[in-house]
């Protein structure tokens, strides 16, 4: 006999403005409790130090969380030059200090150019990556350091917003898997003075931006479940940048059965959003264009 889930079925995406001082998992648990929801997950951790855009997937939206994990991100960060910490951010103990007052804005700008494009980063020992089933940060807290292979990431832009008294502020648009604290450490090393992240805010994650974000405090004062649910964005918004196809009811039936279908004027390759055309378009899920041109369903939502 299947075990019944606790909580109510809630489907959609809530863009939370994560506060500093708590983990992404803390945000998930608080949101799950506030909504009384059966299932909630986040789409990529933010460090406790960081604030900003944290999309949460509720119910059927969790099926599409991987696409948000793989999405590009945009960050604002303040970096303190001349001070290196154990963790690469302000939460760690200072391990080295150098006078960085002689560093010029031109030197920073020139150094930044070398970090734009496809680069390699060595993940921090204080990251959430796992080694033999253990998160690296847990090993680091035990005084254990393991070898980490460099990872290729892409920094599309790194705009210098402000430079003053050994502090710099950047706006960074980057690919998934980019560690801003690794960028701070590597930039500090390139300047010969070290550095760490003193503040970090995620401005955008995939299709979601900070203008769409709500705080947990805003949610907590609503109380009424229907009003809270009105804050949720549609499940389809997770893949809103993808091309879409719209199916008639008969064709949609076959898609729901997991069968590929022929769709007139469909894209010739790649992945697509699939909708059933009715009085109001109904999101069915996502599919992939096969070599023969048919659309094969890959991940579908469960209809109400």
Question: What's the pLDDT tens digit per position in 279-299?
Answer: 678 999 999 999 999 999 999
C-alpha to C-alpha distance for 238 and 235, rounded to whole angstroms:
6
Chain segment 121-164, per-residue pLDDT in tens: 987 777 767 777 777 777 877 878 888 888 999 999 999 999 99
Is 110 marked active-site? Answer: no
Identified catalytic residue from 17, 26, 47, 281: 47
Could you tell me the pLDDT band of residue 165, with boundaries at 50, 70 and 90?
confident
Q: How far apart are CA 260 and CA 296, in angstroms?
A: 4
- Planar angle of CA 166, 121, 119, nearest 5 degrees: 95
What CA–CA distance (Å, rounded) separates 128 from 22? 15
Nearest CA to 81 out of 192, 159, 157 is that of: 192
User: b/e map of 215-225 (b: 16 or more CB within 10 Å)?
Assistant: ebeebeeeeee
pTM, two decimals, is 0.91
In this prediction, residue 3 has a pLDDT band, given cuts at 50, 70 and 90, of low
Cα–Cα distance list, 95 to 51, 82, 166, 195 (Å): 25, 11, 17, 11
If you write DSSP's letter for every residue of 232-296 in order, what string do you get?
PBPGGGGGTTS-EEEE-HHHHHHHHTT--B--TT--SSSEEEEEE-SSS-EEEEEEEE-TTSPEE
What's the whole-number mean pLDDT along residues 72-79?
98
């Amino acid at each position: 006999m299947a075990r019944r889930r606790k909580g109510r079925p809630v489907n959609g995406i809530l863009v939370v403005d994560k506060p500093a001082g708590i983990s992404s998992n803390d945000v998930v648990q608080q949101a799950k409790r506030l909504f009384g929801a059966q299932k909630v997950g986040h789409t990529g951790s933010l460090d406790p130090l960081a604030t900003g855009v944290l999309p949460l997937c509720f119910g059927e939206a969790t099926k599409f969380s991987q696409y948000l994990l793989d999405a590009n991100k945009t960050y604002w960060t303040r970096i303190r030059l001349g001070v290196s910490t154990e963790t690469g951010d302000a939460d760690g103990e200072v391990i080295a200090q150098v006078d960085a007052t002689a560093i010029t804005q031109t030197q920073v700008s020139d150094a930044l150019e070398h970090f734009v494009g496809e680069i390699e980063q060595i993940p921090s020992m204080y990251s959430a990556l796992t080694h033999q089933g253990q998160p690296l940060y847990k090993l680091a807290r035990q005084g254990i350091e393991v070898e980490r292979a460099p990872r290729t990431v892409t920094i599309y832009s790194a705009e210098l917003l402000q430079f003053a008294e050994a502090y710099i502020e950047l706006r960074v648009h980057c690919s998934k898997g980019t560690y801003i604290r690794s960028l701070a450490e590597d930039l500090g090393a390139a300047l010969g003075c070290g550095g760490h992240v003193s503040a970090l805010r995620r401005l955008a994650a995939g299709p979601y931006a900070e203008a769409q974000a709500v705080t947990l405090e805003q949610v907590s004062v609503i109380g009424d479940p229907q009003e809270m649910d009105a804050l949720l964005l549609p499940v389809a918004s997770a893949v809103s940048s993808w091309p879409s196809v719209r199916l008639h009811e008969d064709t949609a039936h076959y898609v729901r059965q997991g069968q590929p279908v022929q769709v007139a004027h469909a894209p010739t390759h790649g992945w697509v959003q699939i909708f059933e055309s009715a009085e109001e378009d109904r999101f069915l899920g996502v599919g992939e264009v096969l070599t023969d041109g048919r659309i094969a369903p890959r991940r579908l939502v469960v209809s109400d």
